[in-house]
Amino acid sequence: MLPASSIKIRQADFAEPAVRALLVDVLGELSERYGGSGDDTPIAAADFTAPNGAFFVADDGERLVGCAGWRRHGDDAELKRMFTARSARGQGLGRRMLATIEESARQAGCRRVILETGDKQPEAVRLYVSAGYSRIEDFGFYAGHEGVLSYAKPL
């Protein structure tokens, strides 16, 4: 595994086969933590196509080791599918991905980034809080569900 600093972050098509394969891992890990499919939030590839949003991947030169996307939610950018492969964790890649999402959303004119996560993802919560995100009222697909944690950061 390359050091995180040499992993390239690039924009990608959500429907790209390598992206779809990585998303299987994303949902698999969420399923391990929460059960079921991992996440039943309706998502379409068009959600991550300009001007509706964007999708990014972390590529180590051999395979994709991370991803994150944003889609429009009114004047906000909703963070979706933020993930770092187990083999690439602990090197700051998640923070780099989050910064990429924030910059992309800022350039697209969004006023803040919002997100839903869950109480079984404490490392994600730590990342968001340390990056300046604050708790907000639950807003998304899982609003009102036990264990849901929603956050926002002004851009």
36 in any annotated domain: yes
* DSSP letter assigned to residue 51: T
The CATH number of the domain holding residue 50 is 3.40.630.30
Mean pLDDT within 33-47 = 89
Per-residue model confidence (pLDDT) at position 37: 81
51 in any annotated domain: yes
pLDDT digits (tens, 9 = 90+) for 1-34: 455 568 999 999 999 999 999 999 998 999 898 9
Question: Which residues have C-beta within 8 Å of that of residue 69, sequence separation ≥ 6?
Answer: 14, 47, 48, 53, 54, 55, 56, 79, 80, 81, 101
Per-residue model confidence (pLDDT) at position 12: 97
Q: Residue 9 forms beta bridges with which residues?
A: 58
Residue 84 has pLDDT above 60, yes or no: yes
Number of domains in the chain: 1
148 in any annotated domain: no
Give the confidence band of 128 by pLDDT, cuts at 50, 70, 90.
very high
Which domain covers residue 76, as residue numbers? 4-111
42 in any annotated domain: yes
Question: Do the strands 112-118 and 8-11 form a parallel or antiparallel pair, or are they unpaired?
Answer: unpaired
pLDDT digits (tens, 9 = 90+) for 102-119: 999 999 999 999 999 999
106 in any annotated domain: yes
Per-residue model confidence (pLDDT) at position 36: 87
50 in any annotated domain: yes
24 in any annotated domain: yes
91 in any annotated domain: yes
Measured at the CA of 43, the angle between CA 42 and CA 49, to 5 degrees, comes to: 155
